[in-house]
Amino acid sequence: MSSSGRESWNTRVGFIFAAIGSAVGLGNMWRFPYMVAENGGAAFVLLYVCLLFLIGLPVMVSEFVLGRGSGASPIPALSQPEQPSWRWLGVLFVASGFLILSYYSVVAGWTIQYLLDSLTGHLFTVTPEAYFSEITFGHSSFMFHLLFMVLTIGVVLGGVERGIEICVEILVPVLVVMMLFLVAWTFLLPGASEGYAYYLQPELQNLVQVYGIWGMEVPFLDLAMLGAAAGQTFFTLSLGMGAMITYSSYLNRERDLFQEGAIISLSDLTIALLAGLMVFPFLTAFGLLAHAEDHEISTLFESVHAAFSQIGGLGSQFFGTVFFATLMVAALTSAISLLEVVTSSLMDRYDLPRLQAAAGSGFLIFLLGIPAAYRSDWLAVADGIAANLMLLFGGLMLAVYVGWIMHDPERELSKGQQWNVSGLWLFCLRYLVVPVLFLLFVQNLYNVLWNVGG
């Protein structure tokens, strides 16, 4: 406990692991491969890696500066005496948390179904396509969405120290070992090399789009792809909705915030790249790539399902069980951070006890997620609005606030600093992050409105 009576992390590793646990989840394993398949492969991967470091990392450091600087959850962190008018941004963050967790929990519920059916062996008696379409939308999806929300609420109720920290410290290393194993295995499959080419050899012409402006043809970077890559960056790093503000608010002042941010981003990137390295060779080895390109949200599930079925017998059951168990846990450690933002905001704002704040908001989130458990189009729309619009807008406003409005943001960053990058960081935030995010937000808004309207 800190002197103010606020809970704090037991150890440095506690914070890093919890932040990595938040970042690493369905965003890396499920969303990243399907975004790559939807956007035509390696060119998207390249853009995503660039954006992760040029935009994602500076925004993450801004969240840390705000969180550790204020020692508070998003709404109070943004209602400092000198700038009370920014409270609405904290409210937007909480709203984003509600929306994201509502459908995240549905997809996480699928992982529980895959887990149970791997355990019994039922999974390997049906084809991947048939199984996926049977369980993903309908009553069973609803039930497992409910179960997953109950689990999430349970961990958040344990509080910061006991619940989140212990859970994450054991489970993140298990995930890494499991994935390394799968990546090594896919490497040996015949047909894998085309998957590597699709995933890793960018065709540079795919990055460029010709725009007609005043009758002229102007080639420029493909903004739609860039906008999707930015949404993915925010989603996977848990940025743009105050999760990192909340976690860093429990942090003390001996740490170098930039270094922590770099470690978290690199770990998250590693897991996403590993996920691609296992999924794409599986897809080409089993002839599923074309199918994945049309039914993107099934990409991860169907490819690993097909792969595990190949092993046969108890081997399938064993590998399937371990894999889906790790996936579920990765989803759980991320879901915890989403619910924690909402919970700690309500606790700070309304002086609610943790039990009421977590259980009440968790229940509302469960209700909000029900349509996504029944309809794939709802899930896709909610995901598009949340990641490509709400998170991007949240990140943009955060960069504007920390970069241009907050008084002397470099001071908080300089505490505990080992790498002297505050000048570079602030410069990047002001002149790169703000304009690029503005452009991409407008682009994504146009895309969403156009898709809805047309």
Quick check: helix, strand or coil at residue 11?
coil
Which residue, 44 or 124, has its beta carbon nearer to ligand TRP? 44
> How many CB atoms neighbour CB 155 within 10 A?
21
Question: Binding-site residue total for ligand TRP (CB under 6 A)?
Answer: 16
Q: Name which position in 113, 118, 265, 334 contacts ligand TRP (CB under 6 A).
A: 334
Which residue, 115 or 338, has its beta carbon nearer to ligand TRP? 338
Q: Which stretch binds ligand TRP (CB under 6 A): 19-27, 62-70, 79-87, 400-408?
A: 19-27
Q: Are 321 and 124 in contact (CB under 8 A)?
A: no
Q: Name which position in 16, 18, 20, 26 contacts ligand TRP (CB under 6 A).
A: 26
256 contact partners, CB below 8 Å, separation of at least 6:
416, 417, 418, 419
Distance separating alpha carbons of residues 304 and 288, to the nearest angstrom:
11
Q: List the one residue out of 382, 384, 452 whose CA is nearest residue 227.
A: 384
User: Least distance from C-beta 243 to ligand TRP, angstroms?
Assistant: 4
* Nearest residue to ligand TRP, by Cβ distance, number only: 27
Which residue, 390 or 413, has its beta carbon nearer to ligand TRP? 390
Q: Name which position in 235, 301, 323, 441 contacts ligand TRP (CB under 6 A).
A: 235
Query: DSSP secondary structure string, 238-300?
Result: T-SSSHHHHHHTT--TTS-HHHHHHHHHHHHHHHHHHHHHHHHHHHHHTT-HHHHHHSGGGHH
User: Least distance from C-beta 254 to ligand TRP, angstroms?
Assistant: 25
Residues 146 to 205: which contact ligand TRP by CB under 6 A? none
25 near ligand TRP, judged by CB under 6 A? yes
Q: Are 311 and 186 in contact (CB under 8 A)?
A: no
User: Least distance from C-beta 415 to ligand TRP, angstroms?
Assistant: 25
Q: Name which position in 241, 278, 304, 373 contacts ligand TRP (CB under 6 A).
A: 241
CA distances from 397 to 54, 87, 90, 93, 435 (A): 17, 12, 10, 11, 11
User: Least distance from C-beta 357 to ligand TRP, angstroms?
Assistant: 17
Q: Which stretch binds ligand TRP (CB under 6 A): 17-25, 42-50, 364-372, 425-433?
A: 17-25
Q: Are 268 and 28 in contact (CB under 8 A)?
A: yes
Identify the bridge partners of residue 208 per DSSP, sorted by sequence position. 221
Q: Name which position in 28, 105, 111, 298 contacts ligand TRP (CB under 6 A).
A: 28
CA distances from 413 to 71, 80, 253, 409 (A): 14, 18, 9, 7
Residues 115 to 134: which contact ligand TRP by CB under 6 A? none
Distance separating alpha carbons of residues 121 and 116, to the nearest angstrom:
8
Query: DSSP secondary structure string, 316-375?
Result: HHHHHHHHHHHHHHHHHHHHHHHHHHHHHHHHHHH---HHHHHHHHHHHHHHHHHHHHH-
Q: Name which position in 14, 21, 27, 41 contacts ligand TRP (CB under 6 A).
A: 27
338 near ligand TRP, judged by CB under 6 A? yes
Q: Which stretch binds ligand TRP (CB under 6 A): 137-145, 158-166, 180-188, 238-246?
A: 238-246
Q: Name which position in 70, 238, 246, 267 contacts ligand TRP (CB under 6 A).
A: 238
Distance separating alpha carbons of residues 128 and 299, to the nearest angstrom:
10
Each residue 264-303 as x (binds ligand TRP by CB under 6 A) or -, in order, gives: ----------------------------------------
> How many CB atoms neighbour CB 256 within 10 A?
18
User: Least distance from C-beta 261 to ligand TRP, angstroms?
Assistant: 14
Which residue, 100 or 292, has its beta carbon nearer to ligand TRP? 100
User: Least distance from C-beta 103 to ligand TRP, angstroms?
Assistant: 11
Query: Which string of b and e fits 103-136 if b means at least 16 CB within 10 Å?
Result: bbbbbbbbbbbbbebbeeeebbeeebeebbeebb
Locus of tokens 């590693």: 270
Which residue, 42 or 239, has its beta carbon nearer to ligand TRP? 239
Identify the bridge partners of residue 220 per DSSP, sorted by sequence position. 209
Residues 76 to 105: which contact ligand TRP by CB under 6 A? 100
Residues of this chain that bind ligand TRP (CB under 6 A): 22-23, 25-28, 100, 235-236, 238, 241, 243, 334, 337-338, 391
